[in-house]
Structure 1
Amino acid sequence: MSDVMNVRHLTCACGAAVVVAIAVGACGGGSIDVVARVAGVAITRTDLDHWIAVEDGLAPGNTSGKRVVEARALSFLISEQWTLGEGRELGLTVSERRARRETEVLNYERRAGIAFGDVPRAAKRMQVVGSRATEADQVRVVKLELLEAEIQQARTVLAAQGIGHTQVVAYYTRHKRHFLVPEHRKVVVIETPRLGPTLKAKREIESGKDPARVARHVSQGPLAHLGGALQDLVGRRGMRGEGLVANIFRARPRLLVGPLRGDWYYIFEVLHVSPAHEPGLARVEDRIVEYLAGRQASTATRAAEERRWAARTVCAQGYARGCGHGGGGLA
């Protein structure tokens, strides 16, 4: 489902919004306060007014600009019911405790200026509603995003059951270069701000001392906290440029190089090289199945679910615009 403020346009199953008059007795005992129903679940005018205020900062009684955001708010509420309904049918739930914990983390990260991590879509939506929403609104948003992630995972698992070996082989054959494992190098680097200590370290290594041991005692650069040892440095032989990494990938293994001058003086020795190689199909088959299943779950499976829920969605007269957006779909 898309961001609250950027709901994706989607028409209902027959290519247009499903709009009916929902009055007393309609749709199984409706009410004039009901603006839409999803599989019999009512969305009320009260809830819509509240979410308009959350999105746009408007008081429920303020009509200025309300129609502009009304469709977005209704789209969100419809998509929420689609997601909750799909979750129920799949037997998936997200606990209130988990949603509250994630909300607390997201609010802390936002205040601290830290990049959002575990639920980035929820984080994006929180940036929209965070300053206007109540704590309950925030938990509601995060809980919905967590449930959508669970639904997407369930879709992927189901889709994976239909991915055949022939499809995997065909994809691997067409995209072999994407699976290339680049060259990796393990290297010891010793950096010092003055030339003297670098030369002394070089002499110690040439006398037979272990380069990594010397690095731990001598190196003062940014790599000092790693003991001067870089594990799995990724790149390619013949890299252009004169920087440290380019020099490392031009060097022969087990050859002490330097001193050279960068920001500081440095010497280095490449301890081990793992050449670039193409992994066999057996090594990447599970990854390919997961990718193909995820792609199918995000397109065909999702579209079928959206059509199914759109067919179960009706809106009152005057709310065609929000209903026509279809709520942005599931996930």
Structure 2
Amino acid sequence: MTSRYAKLWAASALAAIGIAQAAYPEKTITMVIPFAAGGPTDTVGRLFAQSMSNTLKQQVIVENVGGAGGTLGAARVARSAPDGYTIFLHHIGQSTAPALYRKLSYDAVTDFEPIGLVADVPMTFVARKDFPAKDLKELLAYVKANKDKVTYANAGLGSASHLCGLLFMSALQTDLTTVPYKGTGPAMNDLLGGQVDFMCDQTTNTTGQIKGGKIKAYGVTTKTKVESLPNLPTLDSSGLPGFEVVVWHGLYAPKGTPKPIVDKLVQALQIAGRDATIKQRLDDLGTDPAAQNRMTPEALRSHLKAEIDKWGPVIKKAGVYAD
């Protein structure tokens, strides 16, 4: 009798789980972004959150959990219930954290369920409006001559701007004074105010400032020019051959999130990727949504592992670690 009731209870529990998954979502979904509001990842996240809200018929709200190069937000999501009501948008930093941090409270690969790639974003090398160098050639010369005076801002250890700075200093074989922030939003504010000299930041955060003449731009980090900034040369062609950093963004859920829920999130992501308003807005910011065949769990899982293999040796060679 006991065995019979146990089987009935198990069957009832499984049926309840199935009903819950079929009804998902029944309440607000939180998209955790591990950087301060106003930064490039925040911009991308809010665009997609709005469209996904329409598809899922429930609001997708953004919660900014900044600090420690994105690892605080990642840890928060890794500990969250795998019920689809907490999702996580992160960029290339998800692949650099395993090499940058001696101790992580989570595993960047196994503690998350990939949903799909979201967007690839070029970066721009920019400086305060009154920075004396007129072009990249002059910038390189000025930085080498004033390495103890100039300041380089970044969004914190493990961020895309930090990684770009590491490559820049490696190319120049020059160490610079770096000023870390809890996101490129506050870093950009200080650049606009002249408190720091220069930084490397995503087009989603710099295009409007460049076009408005509020900061000085020296080049893009892609091998080809960016359509929204046609007069801006590539760093590769202007004095830093081989220099390339493209910031990809991925969407994740906590490990163990049921596949039917992940599938609904994938569908909502792909619909957002086809949204004409999002495409236009991203185009204005110098980027595009990921291709539909990359907005899948399989594509993000494969890309994340490849990027970990790519950047791990670069970071270890630079000798930069955090506890």
TM class, shorter-chain normalised?
under 0.3
Q: So what's the TM-score if we normalise by structure 2?
A: 0.21
Q: Which has the higher strand share?
A: 2
Q: Which has the higher helix share?
A: 1
Identify which of structures 1 and 2 has the higher relative contact order when contacts are C-alpha pairs closer than 8 Å and 6+ apart: 1
Q: So what's the TM-score if we normalise by structure 1?
A: 0.21
Query: Which has more radius of gyration?
Result: 1
